[in-house]
A and B are shown apart, each in its own frame.
Chain A
Amino acid sequence: MTASLKDDPTAHVDEPERQGEFGAMLKRLRTGDSGLIPVLLGLAALVIYFYVRDSIFLHPENLTNLFIQSTVFILLGMAEIWLLLLGEIDLSLGFVLAIGGALAAITTSVGWHWPWYLGFAFSLAVTSGISFITGLLVVYLRLPSFIVTLAGQIGLNGVLLAIIDKENSGGTVPDSNHVLYNLVYGNFTPLWTWIFFIAMVVVAGVFMLRAYQNRRASGLVTRSVYFTIAKIAGLAISAVVLALIFDADRSTFTVIRGMPFAIPIDIAMLLAGTFILARSKTGRYIYAIGGNKEAARRAGISVNKYRLLAFVFAGFTAGVAGLLYTSNLGGMSNAVPGGIYVLYAVAAAVIGGTSLFGGRGKMIHAVIGGMVIAVIYNGMALISVSTSVQYIVIAIVLVAAVTVDSVARRGQENQS
């Protein structure tokens, strides 16, 4: 076996030769291992469609706006993925986000005068704490997370109304702190934008090549080196495109150039989440619990501890989303559609390829899925489609993604 293992460069793929490339691709699609290619193709198709309908769509101003719009779906999607991996869900995260954002705006306001870092830390602690309590109810009282967080959605909406009402009678709390404002509206200089992207590609490239070398040096099966090079090249091309978009002047009246601070925050959350899931015991155990809770328990894993931890991660991530959302809105309103946002977040995760049934998913799925949602959202507003149609289209996309997920799950069951 080792001989065939070492010599056959395609040994990682399930029986690709006999079925041919196309058959292998169909099989991967059926079992949910198709990777990001299909959804990226779908995203490209959407972009082309909206560009053809209205060329403004690909204007740097609109694209930057689209990236900012997508951050709330992306970050909330990442928060949801922590729980979806365990086969849980949190429907209250939209209002966790809103409470986090409102608290950040209030504590850093002129009246309270907290420094921004204290205000941010406080609101992240509160959002993590809310999800911790949700987690306690789900993990230790063994209540279904769907019901607990459905109640949470209503209850936390009430809490949000109370917080905003106590602070301000107008139904909104304005953001009067320049750091909070700058999360979305502050930019890197064009030069630093380039430096950021070049440094990222170089560091990622070095890590990927070293990982490849380490595997090779240990005599393990490796994909062709061109696979790694292709991945680095793909990363470099996206980095250059992003840098060009952000560095183009996107204002009609004055000059606005450079990457908004929100983007590196997104990237940092993506990297941190991906690292925990792929390289740490915590991540490995979250996948194991989502795959087979009983097997994880028998392997000596403290299942409850990791389930609770995932809730806290979700609350923290929702808090970060809340900071960016508040920055974008210039404050927090008591009319924030938290219930809809959480559905968009789940849709983003599932469209990207994360399973609703637990055990399968990655943080990058929230990024791709969040972009899909933002493109539909932004593009349809651009071509003046009514809100009613927008809702219906997004619902159809979500149902389609869940169908793919469900078919993939059946495919896996039939396989074993």
Chain B
Amino acid sequence: MTFAPESSPADTPSHGPSSNVDSGANAVPSDALLSLRGVSKSFGPVQAIQGINLDIPAGQVTAVIGDNGAGKSTLIKTISGIWSPSSGHMYWNGKEVHIHTPRDATELGIATVYQDLALCDNLDIVQNLYLGNEPMKFGMLDEIKMELATVQTLKDLAVTTVKSVRQKVGSLSGGQRQAVAVARAVTRESKLVIMDEPTAALGVSQTAQVIGLIKTLASRGVAVIVISHNLTDVFEVADRVAVMYLGTLVSSGPVSDYDTGSAVELITTGVSSRVPSPLAPAQ
């Protein structure tokens, strides 16, 4: 990860179809935590995503929606460093960054909560929160510090359903596990948390729990990207919406610009007559 010397974002060349609706131009808005400009990723001849221009502001929830194969997963994997982009630029707080490995992303403050959550069922909540990042005291694990901080983190996130932080994660419900995974991102003071289908496979009350959790996270100034299929959840939780269609970003903007009908149209056809400033891919 390197910082480009005083990059002038206005000169950023744009790749592929321009579909940015945030600022009209390719300038990097100063208020965005993460900005993507013309980001493309291809696997051999297959263009998985192309020319993505997207701004992720801090303190807001950005929902990325789209059909299967629209490129949502490729997009978040590119942001979280699992794949490096084939072309395009990424700006973190206005400075250009190159994210090539998951470690690069972690060092910037990007945390990804994958669908499988990657928790150790045989460890308790405290141990999972600090796994790989344990504070030490006199050459021993500082359990008291970890446990106190865990109690505080869960309190901050308004997670009230967990009985004890010394419970094994294997004994938790789906919603609680999701909460532990998010708390882990918070523990590492992440500035951007990417969540892949956080409400998939959850019941009604647990979905409500997770939605509350995401809102709390954003209210703490964290930028959140949520990938979801569930439009009801999207409209409940998102501040901004970004729609992907066949590897391109066809529309993005405040959630108030969309309704379920137009979102479905955009997801399935890539265009909608009802979005105020629809931008069809320039093809």
Q: Which residues of A contact B (CB under 8 A)?
A: 1-2, 4-5, 11-12, 14-15, 31, 33, 214-215, 218-221, 279-281, 284-285, 287-288, 290-292, 294-296, 298-301, 359-360, 412, 415-416
Contacts and interface: CB of A to CB of B under 8 A. Distances in A.
A292 B121 contact: yes
Nearest to B177: A416
Given A220-B147, A290-B122, A300-B132, A279 B154 contact: no
A412 B167 CA distance: 13
B204 interface: no
Contact of B120 (A2, A12, A281, A287): A287
B166 A12 contact: yes
A11 B148 CA distance: 15
Contacts of A295: 118-120, 131
Please list the 9 inter-chain residue pairs (A to B) with the smallest Cβ-Cβ separation, ordered nearest first: A299-B132, A291-B122, A359-B122, A291-B120, A295-B118, A300-B132, A299-B131, A279-B140, A292-B120
A274 to B, nearest CB: 12
Given A292-B118, A298-B118, A300-B103, A214 B141 contact: no
B159 interface: yes
24 contacts: A5-B165, A11-B164, A218-B148, A220-B144, A220-B151, A279-B140, A279-B141, A284-B141, A287-B120, A287-B122, A291-B121, A291-B123, A292-B119, A294-B118, A298-B118, A300-B103, A300-B106, A359-B120, A359-B121, A359-B122, A412-B121, A412-B170, A415-B170, A416-B121
B123 A221 contact: no
A316 to B, nearest CB: 20
Given A279-B141, A291-B122, A292-B119, A2 B151 contact: yes
B159 A1 contact: yes
Contacts, number: 103
Given A279-B140, A281-B141, A14 B131 contact: no
A300 B118 CA distance: 12
A296 B131 contact: yes
A158 to B, nearest CB: 38
Nearest to A357: B122
A92 to B, nearest CB: 27
Given A2-B155, A11-B163, A215 B141 contact: no
Interface string B100-126: 001100100000000010111111000
Contact of A12 (B116, B127, B164, B170): B164
A301 B151 contact: no
A247 to B, nearest CB: 35
A415 B168 CA distance: 11
A15 B132 contact: no
Contacts of A285: 132
A305 to B, nearest CB: 13
Nearest to A219: B148
Nearest to B118: A295
Contacts of A214: 144
Contact of A14 (B120, B134, B160, B171): B171
Nearest to B147: A220
A5 B123 contact: no
B134 A1 contact: no
Interface string B272-283: 000000000000
A257 B106 CA distance: 62
Contact of B171 (A292, A294, A416): A416
Q: Which of B120, B148, B164, B166 has the most chain A CB within a 10 Å cutoff?
A: B120
Given A281-B134, A299-B133, A416-B171, 18 more contacts: A1-B154, A1-B159, A220-B147, A221-B164, A280-B139, A284-B134, A287-B120, A287-B123, A287-B127, A288-B123, A290-B122, A291-B121, A291-B122, A292-B118, A301-B131, A359-B121, A360-B122, A416-B121
B32 interface: no
B159 to A, nearest CB: 7
A288 B148 contact: no
B193 to A, nearest CB: 15
B141 to A, nearest CB: 6
Given A280-B140, A284-B141, A416 B170 contact: yes
B264 interface: no
B162 interface: yes
Contacts of A11: 163-164
Nearest to A32: B122
A227 to B, nearest CB: 14
